[in-house]
Amino acid sequence: MQVFEYYFNPKAQKDRFFEVFSLEPQKDPSLGNFYIVGELSHTLPQNSGLLQKLAKLISQEYSLSLDVKSQDAFFRALLQKTNGFFAQELRKGNVDWLGNLHIVFLHIKNSGKKSSVMFSKTGGSKVFMARGTNVVDLGKNLQGSSHGAELFGNAVSLQAFAQDKLIVLTKDIADALVRGNILSDISALSGAKQFQLFFKKHNKIFSRLSGILFAVLAEELIAHTPPLSFLKKSMFSLKLPKLRVSLSQLFRFPVSKIQTSFPALKDPIRQKIAMLAVFGALLAGGFLAFQGEKKELQREAQTVMLQIQVIQKEAESALELHDARSANILLQEAWKKASLRTGKEVPFRETFSALQEKLEQQLLAINNIHSVKDPAVLLDIKKQNTNLIPQSMILAQRSLYFFNPFSPAIFIFDLENETGKTFSASKAIRNGISLAGSALLLEEPNTLLRVEQDGRMEPFLLSSLSFLGGMAGFDKNIYILNSQQGSITKYEDPLSNAAAPSAWMREESLKKPAKAKSMAIDGNVWILTADNILERYFGGLWQEDMKPLVFPLIENAAMVKVFPGIPYLYILDPAESRIILLTKFGDLVKQYMVEIQDPLLDFTVSKNGNTLYLLAGSKVFAIEAE
């Protein structure tokens, strides 16, 4: 077997570690090679050596297990030992690695012209096999352990033939290759030089990533093999023949088949007795099996309960050190575990429900929630002289502008005089923004209207306007999001010139804002995705993803906004009737939960950031920021 092993920017982040370990037999190469590919992210300094510690344990077990001829038994023993290792870490109170550990175990046992392969994984790393120009995701349907105490669960078993290539990629590397549609190109690489040319060709992708590309070429068994070793290599590459790919099959467990035979029973009474005896035996066997399964579920529940208590204690220690962020992460992890065990027929359901409630109270206490009861009604549009049913609003020139995408009506409310009036455009208003103090409304299909407080409208034509998924403005420029195509079009100072629009996104960007919900711009472009993730783009390139660390969890946010001179990101979450304020690093600042009857539709913020204006139904509420 030949091995390629490449690291990309492994030290770019101080809290992220990448390791590959290779274990090879000394005397009998038919026993197979064992590889560990690991990533540990967002970890504390005291856990920086966790992967090495695990690899040392596996190395010791591997050396003691070389006489085990069954690959199944050998692989399962190592998985069991690994699960025990991490269970022990939990009992010690070490929970920092939870959710941050990504490991692949790969065992290749060569028996001549073909190799028996088994692998298991936890976390986001990917395992592929390449044959010819085909690439198959071997772990696509591989599920993790269903037992709370176990990190590794199922395994995949398959046959690899000479020239087949097994590929392990850490998540960021795999995602980048898939997005760039270049994953299949790896199958055609036949040597170290071609790998280097591949990396050079796609340098813009790999230069911004951190991770591992690990590949093993299956070969026929040869006489000479390296001695038993425990190696960690920064890069090891050999020239390989042209590679091809294979299919996988899920590991199948043996099923016992029982045949029974009875002498002929002609007596009807004896037949009934025999049938009752068989039925009784089956019933007793089923009862015993049920009792055994019940005890196993109880043991599992007790283990999960212990995990929750350990995590909870760690969170309380973090709070004592005034580390609210770490406490928030830990308590949310514990809350999720408890929430999964509050259904019917679950052992200790009442205990888990009580734990969940306690954890929820702890989380609410540290997530800076400001409850707003009976907020003051600034305006009820239904009581004004207008037929408009508002869905959106913007703030410009000390006035609020209301519109909806199915009507040409525009209702303008003067905040100083507290008076309002309705005006009408020629066609429906699709969207609107405030830019450089002006209210800019987009009229169907592609006319930009500059609307003054007195209702005067000045039109500007936007050429080549395609599907509208969002609209934002920055520094006299307007940006239009096409969330179907994942593109952003820039109109440079459209109020002063008729310059042709230009594509803002660059082709080499690792992500594009496809299926986005909302867009905001402050120099960076902020995209709210359908998964409630914030994507940050700059200069036409994706920079990072941010998942807001907030409780209650965000399940269906509607929009993200930014405002000039205010250092926060604002997220509207109608499901929880709240506005969430985040720093531009994604940390929680505060949440405003508003107790009103109608769902929130839109919001805006005063120029100084001291007042929130909320649109719900036909009413507008004004809330003074705390």
In a domain, 260, yes or no: no
The runs of H, that is alpha helices, within 262-381 are 268-320, 324-339, 349-366
Render pLDDT for 99-123 as a digit per residue (tens, 0 to 9). Answer: 889 999 999 987 767 788 999 999 8
Q: Residues 504, 540: contact at Cβ < 8 Å?
A: yes
Residue 205 pLDDT: 87
- The Cα 438–Cα 443 span in angstroms is 16
Domain boundary among 320, 349, 366: 366
Up-side HSE of residue 415: CA atoms within 13 Å toward CB?
17
Residue 221 pLDDT: 56
In a domain, 119, yes or no: yes
The yes-or-no verdict on residue 260 having pLDDT over 60 is: no
Residue 170 pLDDT: 95
Higher per-residue pLDDT: 94 or 476? 476
Domain count within the chain: 3
- The Cα 179–Cα 506 span in angstroms is 14
CATH number of the CATH domain containing 32? 3.60.40.10
Residue 388 pLDDT: 95
In a domain, 458, yes or no: yes
Domain co-membership, 436 together with 352: no
In a domain, 131, yes or no: yes
Return the number of other C-beta atoms located less than 10 Å from residue 205's C-beta.
Answer: 19
CATH number of the CATH domain containing 486? 2.130.10.10
Domain co-membership, 396 together with 335: no
In a domain, 256, yes or no: no
Sort residue 463 into left (φ over 0), alpha (ψ -120 to 50) or beta: beta
Return the number of other C-beta atoms located less than 10 Å from residue 225's C-beta.
Answer: 17
Q: What is the domain extent for residue 468?
A: 372-624
Domain co-membership, 361 together with 439: no
- Give the bridge partners for 480, in sequence order: 471, 489
Q: Residues 128, 135: contact at Cβ < 8 Å?
A: yes
Domain co-membership, 225 together with 306: no
Domain co-membership, 292 together with 423: no
Helix, strand, or coil (residue 55): helix
| Average per-residue pLDDT for the chain | 82
The yes-or-no verdict on residue 288 having pLDDT over 90 is: no
In a domain, 271, yes or no: no
Higher per-residue pLDDT: 383 or 160? 383
Beta strands in 132-231 (DSSP E): 134-137, 156-161, 165-169, 211-217, 229-231
**What percentage of the chain carries pLDDT values higher than 70?**
82
The yes-or-no verdict on residue 289 having pLDDT over 70 is: no
In a domain, 264, yes or no: no
Q: Residues 151, 145: contact at Cβ < 8 Å?
A: yes
CATH number of the CATH domain containing 289? 1.20.58
Domain co-membership, 235 together with 149: yes
Torsion of CA 316, 322, 325, 330, to 10 degrees: -10
Domain co-membership, 133 together with 245: yes
Domain boundary among 315, 346, 366: 366
Domain co-membership, 289 together with 360: yes
Residue 502 pLDDT: 92
Up-side HSE of residue 324: CA atoms within 13 Å toward CB?
13
Beta strands in 9-48 (DSSP E): 17-24, 33-40
The yes-or-no verdict on residue 253 having pLDDT over 50 is: no
Render pLDDT for 350-369 as a digit per residue (tens, 0 to 9). Answer: 888 888 999 999 999 999 99
Q: With the C-alpha atoms ordered 143, 144, 145, 148, is the resulting torsion angle positive or negative?
A: negative
Domain boundary among 338, 366, 394: 366
Site of tokens 């085909």: 134
Residue 71 pLDDT: 78
Residue 620 pLDDT: 97
Residue 251 pLDDT: 30
Render pLDDT for 117-151 as a digit per residue (tens, 0 to 9). Answer: 999 999 889 999 887 667 888 887 676 544 445 68
Domain co-membership, 238 together with 345: no
The yes-or-no verdict on residue 259 having pLDDT over 70 is: no
Residue 214: exposure state from Cβ atoms within 10 A (0-12, 13-18, ≥19) = buried
Domain co-membership, 538 together with 397: yes
Taking the model in full, what pTM does it have?
0.60
CB proximity list for 21: less than 8 A, separation 6 or greater: 35, 36, 38, 55, 58, 59, 230, 231, 232
- The Cα 46–Cα 289 span in angstroms is 44
Domain co-membership, 477 together with 387: yes
Residue 154 pLDDT: 81
In a domain, 265, yes or no: no
Domain co-membership, 362 together with 496: no
Q: How far is CA 594 from the centre of its chain?
A: 29
- The Cα 287–Cα 393 span in angstroms is 64
Site of tokens 């772990």: 139
Residue 227 pLDDT: 37
The yes-or-no verdict on residue 397 having pLDDT over 60 is: yes
